[in-house]
Amino acid sequence: MSLQLLTFIIVGFTFAIYIGIAFWARARSTDEFYVAGGDIHPVANGMATAADWMSAASFISMAGLIAFFGYGGSVFLMGWTGGYVLLALLLAPYLRKHGTFTVPEFISDRYYSKTARVVAVVCLIIASVTYVIGQMKGIGVAFSRFLEVDYDQGLMVGMAIVFIYAVMGGMKGITYTQIAQYVIMIIAYTIPAIFISFMLTGNPIPQIGLGSTMEDGSYLLDKLDQVVTELGFKEYTTNKRLSLFNMFFYTLSLMIGTAGLPHVIMRFFTVPSVKAARSSAGWALVFIAVLYTTAPAVAAMARLNLMTTIDQPTKENNLAYNERPSWFRNWEKTGLLQFEDKNGDGLIEYTGLDNNEMVKVDRDIMVLANPEIAGLPNWVIALVAAGGLAAALSTAAGLLLAISSSISHDLLKGVFRPDISEKDELRASRVAMAGSIAVAGYFGFNPPDFAAGTVALAFGLAASSLFPALMMGIFSKTMNKEGAIAGMLAGIGVTLLYVFQHKGIMFIKSTAFLGSMEPNWFFGIEPNAIGAIGAVVNFLVAYFVSKQYPEIPSKVKNMVEQIRLP
């Protein structure tokens, strides 16, 4: 059976499962499903949160970035897990206690202001749309490979499917679908990792295999360091992402952003108690950690397999272009892998130097290509495709719902048109959803960065705007509305300005008025990592502005005191 046919069958089968579960769960539930969320065990909620959380950036893109950055890729691993500690300790229990259903709603209550709510909605939309752009890149890569078309066509098909998937609506809200998606995703991620770890090191547990020896007795990581440095790349285990200083802020930005992203926070509004909110975050992280501790092994082993497949220690033994394997041919069709025979000898040279002939190796293809490069059976390759699509679709749909609900519920019903009918509210949310897909898809054709990099920008935006406002709302009894509003605007403003000046206004590269060149970076911090600075600006501005304005009403003070008690 051909790989393409097998892929269609497995992808189709998993989609049938999701839809089947959605119907089954929907038939027995009422519109009070969320309120009845009290029935959902913290472990189940944790698993659903993990599926919601792990997107194309985690599944498709992250290991590829680590494969090429080595140690520098650690920022994603720590950043996207450490944020859960902040969430569990600083936000989730208190927001659950207060008991609203959207993040802007909490901001509106705590800062006794509709303006604050509007500002929060705007921040939420900016961060979430940027996040969806990152998903679109991942979706484009996945569809282009499995339909064997170029990236742009793959992206268009992907957009259409996301639209149908998201507009089918409520489906996403059903926790059981997400549990199924988690299971598919994690099987698809770990099975090839176990295979490859066993092939390379004899140890089937990737987390241990990565630290083990290979057949020739040398440690896998030492071998990888040696192979890449011989070809002129930087040493894998010590290669920094620009500088340790930059890595510090990058990690911080991702962590704070994790705790500030509305679609994640919302999940903790649905658990039965404050106590459950605390442990549910822990369970979510357990399920996330299964993938995140496997990813470094996937990354290192994929890199090693890629290098040793193409380039040999003795040049004459390099892979001949005419004899390139089928995975190479297939990825060439997508335009994401490109070879140029610079010296005309028909052999492929892949080095970190000027004589490199692999002119394009898109990082985002590594996870999907990995099982093919390692020569695993076709059903494993097809399974990885299904996992990648599950990851991208579930998160994209979740984000689109967060965006559309904030427009229809917070903006229209909450502020501008309180008398809106339910039907109109629903219609507005569909229009908002279609609009967001179009905007995100448009940027997806010219993504500002790799999927994980684009998503990192979204985290920076959430980190600089929503997290500080939420945290001060709980831990300060004096922060008033003026301070919070000024802080949010200043934080996201600084972050957007920095990103736009280096990556282009609205990510259009030619409008980057300071260029993306490193000498212009603030203390050498790259735009993806600026969110942490934005958050600091937010805190500072909020503090100083709040001093200039009247104290908060005693009613709100009492509310804060109540939030703090379980």
Partner 1 sequence: MSKDQKYWKENIDLIVKCLSIWFISSYVFSIILVEQLNAIKIGGYKLGFWFAQQGSIYIFVILIFYYAFKMDQIDQRQRPSNK
Q: Segment near partner 1 (CB under 8 A), from 13-21, 216-224, 420-428, 451-459?
A: 216-224
* Choices 31-39, 136-144, 236-244, 499-507 (CB under 8 A): range interacting with partner 1: 236-244
- Based on the shown chain and the rule CB under 8 A, indicate whether residue 44 belongs to the binding site for partner 1: no
| In the complex, least distance from residue 178 CB atom to partner 1, rounded to whole angstroms | 20
- Which structure tokens are listed for 201? 């090191």
Shortest CB 96 distance to partner 1, Å: 13
Identify which of residues 298 and 496 has a Cβ nearer to partner 1 in the complex: 298
Q: Is 219 in the site for partner 1 (CB under 8 A)?
A: yes
CB 177 within 8 A of CB 25: yes
Which of the stretches 50-58, 135-143, 210-218, 502-510 binds partner 1 when contact is defined by CB under 8 A? 210-218
Question: In this structure, what are the phi and psi dihedrals at residue 341, rounded to the nearest 5 degrees?
Answer: -80, 85
Among 99, 232, 275, 325, binds partner 1 (CB under 8 A): 275
Q: How far is CA 41 from CA 195, 274, 290, 523, in A?
A: 33, 13, 20, 46
Minimum distance of partner 1 from residue 164's CB (angstroms) = 35
Our finding on whether 71 is near partner 1 (CB under 8 A) is: yes
Q: Burial-class residue 16 by CB neighbours within 10 Å (0-12, 13-18, 19+).
A: exposed
Complex with partner 1: residue 207 or 229, whichever CB lies closer: 207
- Does residue 366 bind partner 1 (CB under 8 A)? no
CA dist 491 and 489 (Å) reads 6
Residue closer to partner 1, measured from CB, 127 or 277: 277
Backbone region of residue 242 per phi and psi (left: phi > 0; alpha: psi in -120 to 50; beta: other values): left
Contact 43, 169 (CB under 8 A): no
| 226 lies in the binding site for partner 1 (CB under 8 A) | no
Binding span for partner 1 by CB under 8 A among 5-13, 77-85, 319-327, 540-548: 77-85
100 binds partner 1 (CB under 8 A): no
What letter represents residue 146's amino acid? Answer: F
Residue 90 binds partner 1, judged by CB under 8 A: yes
At 6, phi and psi to the nearest 5?
A: -60, -40
Which tokens in the block code for residue 30? 């009422």
| Choices 162-170, 217-225, 316-324, 548-556; region in contact with partner 1 by CB under 8 A | 217-225
Is position 68 an interface residue for partner 1 (rule: CB under 8 A)? Answer: no
Nearer to partner 1, 251 or 436 (CB): 251
* Distance of alpha carbon 208 from the chain centroid: 26
110 contributes a contact to partner 1 by CB under 8 A: no
Beta carbon nearer to partner 1, 517 or 565:
565
Question: Does position 351 bind partner 1 by CB under 8 A?
Answer: no
What would the two tokens of residue 469 be? 């406002």
Nearest approach in angstroms of CB 87 to partner 1 is: 9
Report if residue 558 touches partner 1, rule: CB under 8 A: no
Question: Which residue, 239 or 378, is less far from partner 1 as judged by CB?
Answer: 239
Examine residue 78 and tell whether it contacts partner 1 (CB under 8 A).
yes
103-110 vs 451-475: helix axis angle to the nearest 10? 30
Q: What tokens appear for 113 in the block?
A: 């202001």
Long-range residue pairs from 293-296, CB within 8 A, at least 24 positions apart, any chain: 293/207, 294/189, 294/190, 294/193, 294/206, 294/207, 295/58, 295/62, 295/63, 295/66, 295/77, 296/63, 296/66, 296/73, 296/77, 296/210
**In this chain, which of 99, 170, 202, 211 binds partner 1, going by CB under 8 A?**
211
Residues 6+ apart with CB under 8 A from 521: 502, 527
> Taking the complex as a whole, how short is the minimal distance between the CB of residue 525 and partner 1, in angstroms?
14
Single out the residue of 10, 139, 159, 210 in contact with partner 1 (rule: CB under 8 A).
210
Q: Which of 154, 173, 260, 296 binds partner 1 (CB under 8 A)?
A: 296
Task: Compare residues 158 and 257 and give the one whose CB is closer to partner 1.
Answer: 257
Contact, 236 vs 221, CB < 8 A?
yes
Coil vs helix vs strand at 311: coil
Site string for partner 1, 168-207 (x = CB under 8 A): ---------------------------------------x
Residue 514 CB coordination number (10 Å): 13
3-state secondary structure of 440: helix
Binding-residue total with partner 1 (CB under 8 A): 45
For the chain, give the longest Cα–Cα distance.
Answer: 80
* Phi-psi group of 224: left, alpha or beta (phi > 0 → left; psi -120 to 50 → alpha; rest → beta): alpha
Interacting residue with partner 1 among 14, 108, 128, 251 (CB under 8 A): 251
Comparison of 212 and 338: residue with beta carbon closer to partner 1? 212
Q: Give the integer Cα–Cα distance in Å for 168 and 29.
A: 16
230/561 with CB nearer partner 1: 561
| CA angle at 176 for the pair 41 and 138, rounded to the nearest 5° | 120
Q: Is 247 in the site for partner 1 (CB under 8 A)?
A: yes
The CA distance from 373 to 383, in Å, is 15
Binding site for partner 1 (CB under 8 A): 66, 71, 74, 77-78, 81-82, 84-85, 88-90, 93, 207, 210-213, 219-222, 237-238, 244, 247-248, 251-252, 255, 275, 278-279, 281-282, 285-286, 289, 292-293, 296, 561, 564-566
